[in-house]
Amino acid sequence: MKHINSFLLLIFLIQNLFGQVENWERKASIMVDSQIMARGVSDNHVLNIMRQTPRHEFIPVEQQPNAYMDYPLPIGYEQTISQPYIVGLMTSLLQLKGHEKVLEIGTGSGYQAAVLAPLSNEVFTIEIVKELAERSAKKLKDLGYNNIHVKWGDGYQGWPDEAPFDAVIVTAAPPEVPPKLFEQLKVGGRLVIPVGSIWQELWVITKLEGETMDKESVIPVRFVPMVHPEKPIPDQD
Ligand code: SAH
C-alpha cells in the first residue's frame, strides 16, 4: 500500500513537473458532452474546438488536475478562468462563421482566446494585469496560435486602431455596457457581455443601423469585476 501511494505520488509529481495531464483529449471530450452539450449548447464548431483545446495548458500547475472540471479555477492575481460551460455558451452566442475580427476583453489565462482563434479570422484581446497579459501571450505563442494579438491595456478603451470588430466578448463584468465597446462594433455585430455588480446578467447586444441596439438577456452569471486601471497604461501601439 505504502509503495502504491509513493508510486502515485511520483506520477503526480512527474505530471506536474511537465505540466501534463494524461488523456486530456478524452477529458476535454467528456467535459464538452457532460457539461456543455448537456446544458443546451449545440454549435458543433464550438463544441469540436473545445474538445481540441488543451485547457490544462492555461492553468497553473497545481490546478491542472482540475482543468476539465465543471467550475472556474484560480489563475493567480485574484483572477479566474471561467467555467467551461460559460466559455462554450458565450462563444456560441457570438455565432462566428470564421471570417470575423473579434475583440476580447479580459485575456486572463488566454483560454477563451484560444477557443475563439480557430473559429474566427483574428482575435484581439486586452488584459489589464500586465503579468497575465505577458504570460498568456507567451503561452499562446508557444502553443502555436498565430492569429491572436494580446495587449496589456484597459478594456474600457477597446482597441480603436483595430476597430471596427465583427464581434466583441467581455469576460469581466462592468456595471454598464462600456460605450467605446459598443462604438467599436460593426453594424450587425454582436457583443456578448456580463453586466452588473452584485447581480450580473449575460447580455447579447446586436448593433443595428443608426447606432441603436437590440438587447437580449441570457442567464444570470458571476464574473470578476471589470476594473479601471490604478495608473494610466502607456499605449503600446
Ligand atoms: N477570458 C479569461 C478569463 C477572464 S477573468 C480566460 O479565458 O481565462 C477576467 C479577466 O479580466 C481578468 O484577468 C482581469 O484581470 C481582466 N480585467 C478586469 N478588468 C479589465 C479591464 N478593464 N480591461 C482588461 N481586462 C480586465
Largest CA distance in the chain: 71
User: Which of these is catalytic: 82, 92, 109, 120?
Assistant: 82
209 pLDDT band (50/70/90 cuts)?
A: very high
Average pLDDT over residues 66-87: 97
Q: What is the arithmetic mean of pLDDT over 52-59?
A: 98
Task: For residue 152, name the pLDDT band (cuts at 50, 70, 90).
Answer: very high
Place 7 in a pLDDT band, splitting at 50, 70 and 90: low
Q: How would residue 18 be classed by pLDDT, with cut points 50, 70 and 90?
A: low
Answer whether residue 8 shows pLDDT above 80. Answer: no
Is 82 part of the annotated catalytic residue set? Answer: yes
Q: Which long-range contacts (CB under 8 A, 24 or more apart) does 164-167 make?
A: 164/101, 164/189, 165/100, 165/101, 165/102, 165/103, 165/124, 165/189, 166/99, 166/100, 166/101, 166/102, 166/120, 167/94, 167/96, 167/100, 167/101, 167/102, 167/103, 167/120, 167/191, 167/192
For residue 201, the Cα-to-chain-centroid distance in whole angstroms is 17
Instruction: Report pLDDT for 211.
Output: 83
- Which ligand 1 atom lies nearest to the CA of residue 113? 7
pLDDT at 75: 97
Q: Which of 104-113, 184-193, 213-222, 226-235 has the lowest mean pLDDT?
A: 226-235
Q: Which residues line ligand 1 (CB under 6 A)?
A: 79-82, 105-106, 108-109, 111-112, 126-129, 132, 154-156, 171-172, 224, 226-227
Please report the pLDDT score of residue 10 as a whole number: 62
- Report in angstroms the alpha-carbon separations of 114 from 59, 71, 201, 219: 13, 18, 24, 24
**In the predicted structure, residue 155 carries a pLDDT above the cut 90:** yes
Task: Give nearest CA residue, ligand 1 atom 21.
Answer: 155
Q: Using the predicted structure, report yes or no on whether residue 232 has a pLDDT greater than 90.
A: no
Instruction: Map out the domains of the chain with their CATH numbers.
Output: 2-221 (3.40.50.150)
**Which residue, judged by its Cα, is nearest atom 11 of ligand 1?**
106
